[in-house]
């Protein structure tokens, strides 16, 4: 079997396995095993196993993943987010679309403290979905802003996705965190601007809160400062120590987990049963991610050793496109894959193919390319038929909110993500400016 047929065979098996509903980790690993046997080279599985134990499980950067997951759970248990949303909701009562704007701003803060998409969407959905619907917000705008804003956690650091990207590229976690900071915040602000414009042009979609719920702004501002202080300390502890070079990514994640636990204790929310639950959830989430990492390592290992990776790269080189066209094609492939795979699988499958090609382009920054890909991967949670944010939100939505409302609601935000991709592509300084300031001597 020649390398071209191997590439087609492996991706065909991958598609069939996913559409049959099997977990991604087992589809990737199973495809690797079946391909090695069919190609008559089962001995390559021994090399793949050595690679898994030697390269993947010895990668200390990946230790940051369970620690950040644990930090996110501790922060959720502290109740900080609930109080902040309630305060911000009342503070923005005089602003058209104030509830939706509160969702965006709280989601940006959540993204900078958790980086766990499922947790962010679930928390915001539980807090904001029913109140927004009760105040007359349109189901499409309500679900769209909650789903899209909840996905900011994979772009705004500290992000588990960026940690995984750094571990599979020559870039450091600090560089990726710094490079994605500005695009992530700008994307969140673009969501807020869209919500405000829609609420002004279509007030029936986002009515104002009744006057009897408005209280003094001075008192609300004091409440907001008090409630925002713990997450801001957490953000400074993580990103400050990492970007200043005081701590590595793993050490910064440990600092974040410790600070989040202290916040839980200080707010008198610590319970042994919730602590045990946090440990169990951290184990489940981390195991799921690492299973996918192991499966993808097996897939790419077999794909590479048998010749599929080289054949794919030669095919791309043979297209003889201009660099910008080649990058645009890569981003389009990532966008399409996002409709069927989650970000973990996309990163682990595409990096071995894309990064060597990008590194051969003398005028293209690898940091800029990876952050651009991270922006595109925002859509992987939103694009049907397998957008995870759609299902997270549908699971907690009331019966009157149908999946059609959620899909229609996220479409404008997908367009905003595409617009942000074009902005980052046109102005690479949005990515490279902060890393240059922090890391260029």
Distance between CA atoms of 308 and 429, rounded to whole angstroms?
35
- Which token pair is 300? 């790419």
Question: Radius of gyration over alpha carbons of the chain, in Å?
Answer: 22
> Average of pLDDT values for 27-43?
83
Q: Say yes or no to pLDDT of 215 above 70.
A: no
Distance between CA atoms of 86 and 68, rounded to whole angstroms?
25
In tens, the pLDDT along 339-377 reads 887 788 888 888 888 898 898 888 889 999 999 999 999
Stretch (H or E) spanning 311: helix 308-318
- Per-residue confidence at 123, pLDDT binned at 50, 70, 90? confident
Q: What does the DSSP 8-state code read for residue 23?
A: -
Under a CB-based contact definition with an 8 Å cutoff, are residues 238 and 48 in contact? no
pLDDT at 305: 80
- Which token pair is 102? 């509160």
- Which token pair is 136? 């007359």
pLDDT at 441: 56
Peptide bond into 158 cis (omega under 30): yes
Q: Is the dihedral of CA 168, 174, 177, 179 positive or negative?
A: negative
33-47, 112-126, 304-318: the lowest-pLDDT one: 112-126
Residue 73: strand, helix, or coil? helix
Quick one: which of 177, 28, 23 has its CA closest to 112?
177
Q: Dihedrals φ, ψ of 220, to 5°?
A: -65, -40
- Per-residue confidence at 219, pLDDT binned at 50, 70, 90? low
Q: Say yes or no to pLDDT of 386 above 50.
A: yes
Q: Is the dihedral of CA 110, 116, 122, 123 positive or negative?
A: negative
Distance between CA atoms of 419 and 181, rounded to whole angstroms?
17
Quick one: which of 179, 203, 235 has its CA closest to 369?
179
- The b/e string for 425-440 (b: 16+ C-beta within 10 A; e otherwise) is beebebbbebbeeeee
Q: Say yes or no to pLDDT of 284 above 90.
A: no
- Which token pair is 309? 């990776």
Under a CB-based contact definition with an 8 Å cutoff, are residues 123 and 81 in contact? yes
pLDDT at 428: 93
What whole-number percentage of the chain has pLDDT above 70?
93
Report CA-CA distances (Å) from 191 to 185, 299, 348: 10, 37, 29
> Average of pLDDT values for 419-426?
94
Beta strands of 125-209 (E only): which ranges?
none
Distance between CA atoms of 48 and 294, rounded to whole angstroms?
10
Report CA-CA distances (Å) from 153 to 45, 187, 231, 307, 432: 35, 11, 14, 36, 20
What value does the mean pLDDT of the chain take? 83
What whole-number percentage of the chain has pLDDT above 90?
17
- Higher-scoring residue by pLDDT: 311, 436: 436
Give the number of residues written for the chain.
441
Distance between CA atoms of 105 and 99, rounded to whole angstroms?
10
Distance between CA atoms of 414 and 383, rounded to whole angstroms?
8
């Amino acid at each position: 079997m020649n390398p071209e047929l191997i590439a087609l065979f492996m991706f065909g098996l991958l598609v069939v396995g996913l559409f049959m509903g099997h977990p991604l980790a087992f589809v990737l690993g199973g495809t690797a095993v079946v391909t090695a046997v069919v190609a008559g080279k089962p001995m390559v599985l021994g090399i793949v196993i050595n690679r898994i134990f030697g390269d993947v499980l010895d990668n200390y950067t990946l230790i940051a993943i369970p620690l950040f997951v644990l930090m996110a759970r501790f922060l959720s248990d502290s109740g900080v987010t609930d109080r902040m949303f309630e305060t911000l909701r009342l503070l923005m009562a005089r602003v058209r679309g104030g509830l939706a704007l509160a969702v965006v701003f709280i989601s940006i803060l959540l993204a900078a403290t958790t980086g766990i998409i499922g947790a962010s969407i679930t928390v915001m959905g539980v807090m904001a979905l029913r109140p927004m619907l009760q105040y007359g917000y349109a189901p499409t705008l309500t679900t769209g802003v909650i789903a899209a804003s909840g996905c900011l956690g994979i772009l705004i650091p500290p992000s588990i996705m960026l940690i995984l990207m750094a571990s599979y590229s020559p870039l450091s976690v600090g560089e990726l965190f710094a490079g994605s900071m500005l695009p992530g915040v700008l994307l969140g602000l673009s969501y807020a601007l869209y919500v405000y414009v829609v609420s002004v042009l279509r007030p029936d979609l986002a009515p104002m809160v009744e006057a009897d719920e408005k209280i003094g702004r001075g008192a609300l501002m004091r409440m907001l400062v008090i409630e925002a202080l713990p997450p801001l300390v957490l953000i400074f502890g993580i990103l400050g120590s990492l970007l200043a070079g005081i701590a590595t990514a793993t050490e910064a994640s440990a600092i974040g987990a410790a600070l989040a636990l202290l916040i839980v204790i200080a707010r008198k929310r610590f319970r042994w049963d919730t602590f045990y639950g946090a440990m169990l959830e951290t184990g489940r989430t981390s195991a799921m991610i690492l299973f996918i990492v192991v499966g993808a390592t097996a897939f790419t290992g077999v794909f590479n050793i048998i010749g599929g990776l080289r054949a794919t790269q030669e095919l791309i080189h043979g297209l003889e496109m201009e660099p910008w066209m080649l990058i645009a094609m890569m981003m389009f492939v990532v966008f399409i894959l996002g409709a069927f795979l989650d970000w973990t699988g996309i990163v682990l499958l595409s990096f071995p193919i894309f990064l060597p090609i990008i590194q051969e382009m003398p005028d293209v920054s690898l940091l800029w390319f990876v952050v651009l890909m991270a922006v595109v991967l925002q859509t992987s949670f939103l694009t049907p038929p397998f957008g995870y944010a759609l299902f997270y939100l549908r699971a907690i939505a009331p019966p009157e909110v149908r999946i059609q409302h959620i899909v229609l609601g996220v479409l404008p935000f997908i367009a905003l993500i595409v617009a942000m991709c074009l902005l980052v592509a046109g102005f690479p300084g949005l990515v490279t400016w902060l890393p240059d300031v922090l890391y260029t001597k």
